[in-house]
Amino acid sequence: MHKESMFQTGKYKIATAFLLMLVFCAQITPIMAAPSQKTIQATRDVISNPTNETVNAYIKLMLKEYRKAKRAGNAEDAADYLRSALYFLQQTPGENKKYNDALESLNKIIEEQGIDSSQSSRLELAKSLYLEGKYFASGYEFSILLKEGYETDLCLEYLGDIAQKLNQEDVAFSFYKKAVETNPENLSAKYKYANALLKKGNDSDAIYYFEDVIENTNSEAIVNEIINNFMVRANNDPNNENNYGILGLAYQKLGQYDKTYQLLKKSLMINPDDIFLQYYLGNLLFEVKEYSFAEEIYSEILEDNPYESQIRISRAKTYLSLGENAKAIKDYQIVLAMYPESLQAQYGLYCALKEKLSLDKIVALFYPIEPNFKLNYEGYNNLGYFANKLGNSKDAIVFFEKSLSLNSKSETPYIELYKLYQLVGQNDKARNILQKGYKLFPKNEEIIELYSALNSDKVDEKNNLALSYLNEGEYQKAITVYNQIEPKNASTYEAIGNCYRQLGDFKSAINNYYKSLSMDPDNSEAYYALGITYLEANNLPKAKEAFENSLKKNAKNIKSKKMLSFIEQKEVIKSIDLAYDFYEKKDYRSALKYLNKAVETFPNDPKVYYYRGLTKESLSDIKGAVNDFRETIKIDRNYYVAYYKLAESLEKIGKQKEALFMYEKYLGAENIDKNLAKKAEQRVLDLGARYY
């Protein structure tokens, strides 16, 4: 059996080879042919050695493949080849003409195909290309959107992902860092940045970001990834208390408090003087409502570390839970004496006293050593933002109303109060405050946008507000606003589904997409969103069904077409892996059974014919093997190893002259296996002596 056979190299090498095929910008045609050896090698050369020579060779090859795809009428593939070339052309000095020509060709395809070229649609296309493994093509779209300033942090994050896939760790690190700096609320980017910091050996900063991600994320998938990664780290470095600390926080986030307790105790055994580990233990006890024990731990820490404000604030919360308000107030005031602008302490003090004192009297206690202390309007705005972030809308309203009373010329309270009034259902107040804001600030873009919706109808008003929350990444608030719309239409349910998908609540997302489709069954985009959600939930059959339905409704939906091809390729590899399991046990007939089924399901995929040919060869069905190797080449004439196997099989059935021709075809290819090449050369010499 030859070296490149999957049955000789093994299952995992085959799986790796397929992943590499995706990594190296596999261009999937409508018949899903494998990428040519030239394409794979050119991409490998660029990744491993990105010189002017390798980059230029890659650009040249992509433009050549574009022309071939165009002649064959494969517009989608032609566009992707152009995107892959443009990714490098935009970075290559002195190639302006070639860049402009390629861009013009791409725009022409987009225009002829009637493809939606809006920024939101291009963003979805870029994500689809990334999922397919067409990283250079995807990188081009993300880089253009980044230049346009659209969803900057998301583009930076994806460009970091692409750089990482291409083994460019330093470049990935830079992109993740910029993404976090651009939007500190992007927890996905922050998580990836933390991982990049770990790889660089910057453990202290990485731990800080991991703690932040665990505290704020709603994604169980991210928390579970952190657990898996740090379990490995803990096994490799059992004396590092940081590993157990992060694991403890992660399990606590998932509500698995027993595991958290054991891990924190283990970590404290390694380093009993680590006050932050003690603090985490106190937080755990607080969360399970063991307030007295939590207070004891916080107090023990503060005896030796009286200036640790975060621990003092946590103790103040514990005192509030124990009903000891006077002690809580004292702790908050101590923090404010050290850090007068601490929003946590200011808001904590307000919460402790709001049932007893007026807002002005509470604020006067923020800084008791200064009897004339007052908070200005910006201070109240900050408190409003802080309370709103915690989800305490009513308190946020109190602070923004106070800010407005102190300075009616500030734009912020009008915008924020409008949103908050809408959020809590005080629609009349919302309209009044926005109308006042519009009169005072008729040139403010956000107020203009909100006001235009206000004067159309209530549905537009709610939609516009929800969109503003979407743009800020506040998906739960957007859902709250969408749910206020009655009656809901298909677009509303689709928007709610999108919000739930962003929050990682796939079940709720799917439920809302189906509600949308029940009202608008011809919506191709809703089926696409449903397919992506099933894909993210790892339900490939349902995802495939959704993408197929999307294409039935709109045959030009390129995103659904690409995702369907991607899923089918995964299913092909799954079938091949199943066949290998039987082949390894020398159960060739069972292996053949799976490959026969794969051929029925994927009749235009060259790989399944090739591997079925290998299996038939093992069953001594040489004529059957010949037929399958011929079919492989018929579908993909660049599947060069099939020429070698066909030549071998032809010799066995006495067709030496045709075998000679196939050996020569194999040797005419580039980047072939050296050992097989030597064997093929010898067979050409032997057979050539007979026929030439």
Per-residue pLDDT reduced to its tens digit, 262-289: 888 888 888 888 888 898 889 889 988 9
Nearest to 64 by CA among 31, 38, 103: 38
578: in domain:
yes
Residue 105 has pLDDT above 80, yes or no: yes
CA pair distance 605, 598, nearest whole angstrom: 9
Strand segments (E) across 523-624: none
Q: What DSSP line would sit under 301-344, residue for residue?
A: HHHH-TT-HHHHHHHHHHHHHTT-HHHHHHHHHHHHHH-TT-HH
Residue 9 has pLDDT above 60, yes or no: no
Residue 168 has pLDDT above 60, yes or no: yes
- Reported as a pLDDT band with limits 50, 70 and 90, residue 687 is confident
Comparing 33-42, 371-380, 553-562, the range with the smallest average pLDDT is 33-42
- Bond prior to 50 in cis (omega within 30° of 0): no
**Residue 665 has what pLDDT?**
87
**Residue 19 has what pLDDT?**
32
Q: Which two tokens stand for residue 329?
A: 């107030």
**Residue 597 has what pLDDT?**
85
**Residue 455 has what pLDDT?**
65
Residue 477 has pLDDT above 80, yes or no: yes
Residue 158 has pLDDT above 80, yes or no: yes
Comparing 85-89, 415-419, 463-467, 678-682, the range with the smallest average pLDDT is 463-467
Boundary residue ending a domain (527, 556, 585): 556
Q: Do 680 and 570 share a structural domain?
A: yes
Write the pLDDT tens digit of every residue in 109-146. Answer: 988 888 878 888 899 889 888 887 788 999 999 999 99
In the block, tokens 């995992």 appear at: 12
483: in domain:
yes
Residue 361 has pLDDT above 60, yes or no: yes
Q: Do 573 and 522 share a structural domain?
A: no
**Residue 487 has what pLDDT?**
85
**Residue 29 has what pLDDT?**
30
Q: Do 620 and 545 share a structural domain?
A: no
CA pair distance 442, 659, nearest whole angstrom: 81
679: in domain:
yes
Residues of the chain above pLDDT 90, percent: 44
Q: Do 610 and 577 share a structural domain?
A: yes
**Residue 241 has what pLDDT?**
86
Q: Is the model more confident about 310 or about 563?
A: 310
Residue 35 has pLDDT above 60, yes or no: no
622: in domain:
yes
**Residue 464 burial (10 A CB sphere; 0-12, 13-18, 19+):** middle
Residue 563 has pLDDT above 70, yes or no: yes
Q: Do 683 and 580 share a structural domain?
A: yes
Inter-CA distances, 25 with 33, 110, 125, Å: 13, 20, 15
In the block, tokens 């749910």 appear at: 483
Comparing 93-97, 185-189, 315-319, 664-668, the range with the smallest average pLDDT is 93-97
Q: What is the largest CA-CA distance in the chain?
A: 110
Q: Do 544 and 511 share a structural domain?
A: yes
**Residue 601 has what pLDDT?**
79
**Residue 537 has what pLDDT?**
85
- Mean pLDDT calculated for residue range 96-101: 90
C-beta neighbour count of 428 within 10 angstroms: 8
- φ, ψ (nearest 5 deg) of residue 218: -105, 5
- Reported as a pLDDT band with limits 50, 70 and 90, residue 27 is very low
Q: Do 572 and 678 share a structural domain?
A: yes
| 70: Cβ contacts below 8 Å, ≥ 6 apart | 78
Q: Which of 155-164, 420-429, 500-509 has the highest mean pLDDT?
A: 155-164
- Reported as a pLDDT band with limits 50, 70 and 90, residue 401 is very high
CA pair distance 430, 411, nearest whole angstrom: 15
Q: Which two tokens stand for residue 29?
A: 């045609």
Which structural domain, as residue segments, surrounds residue 584?
565-691
Q: Do 593 and 522 share a structural domain?
A: no
Residue 24 has pLDDT above 60, yes or no: no
Boundary residue ending a domain (528, 556, 584): 556
Boundary residue ending a domain (515, 536, 556): 556
In the block, tokens 């830079």 appear at: 174
Q: What CATH number did the domain enclosing 577 receive?
A: 1.25.40.10
**Residue 33 has what pLDDT?**
38
**Residue 36 has what pLDDT?**
60
220: in domain:
no
Nearest to 115 by CA among 85, 88, 78: 78
**Residue 376 has what pLDDT?**
93
Q: Which two tokens stand for residue 273?
A: 């003087």
- φ, ψ (nearest 5 deg) of residue 442: -70, -10
CA pair distance 531, 544, nearest whole angstrom: 7
Residue 6 has pLDDT above 50, yes or no: no
Q: Do 544 and 577 share a structural domain?
A: no
Q: Which amino acid is at 328?
A: A
CB 610 within 8 A of CB 599: no
Nearest to 493 by CA among 450, 525, 453: 525
Residue 4 has pLDDT above 60, yes or no: no
74: in domain:
no
Residue 299 has pLDDT above 90, yes or no: yes
State the DSSP code for 200. Answer: T
Q: Is the model more confident about 246 or about 472?
A: 246
CA pair distance 398, 66, nearest whole angstrom: 61
Q: Do 547 and 633 share a structural domain?
A: no
Residue 212's SS3 state is helix
The radius of gyration of the chain from alpha carbons, rounded to an integer in Å, stands at 31
- Reported as a pLDDT band with limits 50, 70 and 90, residue 210 is very high
- Mean pLDDT calculated for residue range 68-75: 83
Counting the structural domains of the chain, the total is 2
Mean pLDDT for all residues in the chain? 86
CA pair distance 328, 324, nearest whole angstrom: 7
607: in domain:
yes
Write the pLDDT tens digit of every residue in 599-651. Answer: 887 888 888 899 899 999 989 999 999 999 999 988 888 788 899 999 999 99
CB 393 within 8 A of CB 370: no
- Mean pLDDT calculated for residue range 160-187: 91
Q: Do 585 and 488 share a structural domain?
A: no
420: in domain:
no
CA pair distance 292, 349, nearest whole angstrom: 21
Q: Do 576 and 514 share a structural domain?
A: no
